[in-house]
A and B are shown apart, each in its own frame.
Chain A
Amino acid sequence: MDDFGGGLVAAAHELKTPLTLVRQLSLQLAETKDDAARAEIARRIRLTSERSLRLVDNLTRAARLESAMFEMEPVLLSGLCHEVVDELSPLSLALGQEFQIKVGKSPLVAVGNRDLLRSLVMGLVDNALQYNAPGASIEISTRIRRNEAELAVRDHGSTMDLAEFRRLKESLGLRAMPIAARPLSSGLGLLIAQKFALAMNGHLSVERHRHGGLTFRAHLPASQQMSFVSAGQP
């Protein structure tokens, strides 16, 4: 199968799960009389639809990436983390999960395109929400290392065996790859996130944790313009 065909299959797979859920919830809605239960079902339909729309937006953006010109600018990572968490809070609340943001005291600024970077982080956090253990937190942290600004998203999903982890690591950003331990995904979201990172002269990496879960890390060029931040600009 060529790249185009492979991409279509991955996109279809990725959208099938939420669409099936929306269909099921709407069938349930038709049979439910209790107002409070109906309101909860409607909320779940809305959150599931919004999640699918985010994927469709990112797919469109990724497809246009090569021909598009986008502005690179200093972006304060802590502000971006809070923005993403605010937006995904209704979903995390509905899934019974919580966020922990760990950012250092000194402001960390990356050079990137604000919209792409936001989509990238949204993609990583959304991915974590899907696989995190119920009740566990998702940790979002930033640090500077070897002149790179790093933003990490750690989930507490199931343990991944070494062979599968190696496959994931090797394919990260090269192609969509279904992950057996993470069955709701075709890996397309990670492929898109890697494309966004590469477009901003960065890249993604992944590490696994012995007691379960993964950390995905976006490595981006760090901005030296700290005065820009202290001057009060975003």
Chain B
Amino acid sequence: MKILILEDDKWFADSLCANLQPKFDVRVCYDPEKFFSAAEKWRPDVLLADVILGAKNLFVLLNEMQSYADTRTLPVVILSTAAEQIKASDVVEYNVKKILNKTEITPRILRETLLKIGEGSS
């Protein structure tokens, strides 16, 4: 299963990658501007993304993803320190399957969540 991590904090992204790599095929995109080319070339099964991504926030990107055939159905898992401020009902139309809190998540729960979502979409 291929997981694309979209996270602009390099050390956090590298750490997530290390947690996931034994079970998944993982790639990291640090720059939201490069997300679409990464998604087009690599075709991930799940996108694991932070909300605040430099000049572009994830919601702008999610909106744009809906306009392209190849990214419209990509399942998204949000991983954010502001998870409690995001309502699932507000983002369900963007194919967001789960909202996880960065301050509480453990590697095991993250792996289980991604596995479940990835399997559900295939």
Q: Do A and B bind each other?
A: yes
* Pick from A20, A41, A158, A159: contact of B81, CB under 8 Å: A20
A16 & B81 in contact (Cβ 8 Å cutoff):
yes
Question: Binding site of B, secondary structure by majority: helix, strand, loop or mixed?
Answer: mixed
- Could you say which residues of chain B place their CB within 8 Å of the CB of A20? 12, 81, 102-103
Interface residues on B, range: 20 to 34
A27 vs B14: C-alpha distance in the bound complex, in angstroms?
13
B9 & A184 in contact (Cβ 8 Å cutoff):
yes
- Could you say which residues of chain B place their CB within 8 Å of the CB of A16? 81, 103
Interface 0/1 of B48-90, CB less than 8 Å to A: 0000111101000000000000000000000001000000000
A159 vs B12: C-alpha distance in the bound complex, in angstroms?
23
Interface flag for A169 (CB, 8 Å) = no
- Could you say which residues of chain B place their CB within 8 Å of the CB of A95? 10
A181 vs B8: C-alpha distance in the bound complex, in angstroms?
12
A23 vs B16: C-alpha distance in the bound complex, in angstroms?
12
Interface 0/1 of A3-25, CB less than 8 Å to B: 00000000000001101110111
Interface flag for B19 (CB, 8 Å) = yes
A181 & B102 in contact (Cβ 8 Å cutoff):
no
Interface flag for B18 (CB, 8 Å) = yes
A118 vs B10: C-alpha distance in the bound complex, in angstroms?
28
Interface members, chain A 177-214 (any B CB < 8 Å): 180-184
A27 & B11 in contact (Cβ 8 Å cutoff):
no
Interface flag for B15 (CB, 8 Å) = yes
B55 & A17 in contact (Cβ 8 Å cutoff):
no
B53 & A183 in contact (Cβ 8 Å cutoff):
yes
CB proximity of B48 to chain A, nearest CB, Å = 13
Interface residues on A, range: 20 to 34
B55 & A48 in contact (Cβ 8 Å cutoff):
no
Interface 0/1 of B88-122, CB less than 8 Å to A: 00000000000000110011000000000000000
Closest to A130 in B: B9
A181 vs B52: C-alpha distance in the bound complex, in angstroms?
9
A17 vs B54: C-alpha distance in the bound complex, in angstroms?
14
B81 & A25 in contact (Cβ 8 Å cutoff):
no
CB proximity of B72 to chain A, nearest CB, Å = 26
- Could you say which residues of chain A place their CB within 8 Å of the CB of B81? 16-17, 20
A110 vs B81: C-alpha distance in the bound complex, in angstroms?
41
Interface 0/1 of B11-34, CB less than 8 Å to A: 110011011000000000010000
A27 & B19 in contact (Cβ 8 Å cutoff):
yes
B55 & A159 in contact (Cβ 8 Å cutoff):
yes
Tell whether A32 pairs with B18 under 8 Å between CB atoms, given A20-B103, A27-B106: yes
A48 vs B57: C-alpha distance in the bound complex, in angstroms?
24
- Could you say which residues of chain B place their CB within 8 Å of the CB of A19? 103
What are 8 residue pairs bridging A and B, where the CB atoms are less than 8 Å apart in the complex? A20-B103, A21-B12, A28-B107, A44-B11, A48-B11, A134-B10, A181-B54, A183-B53
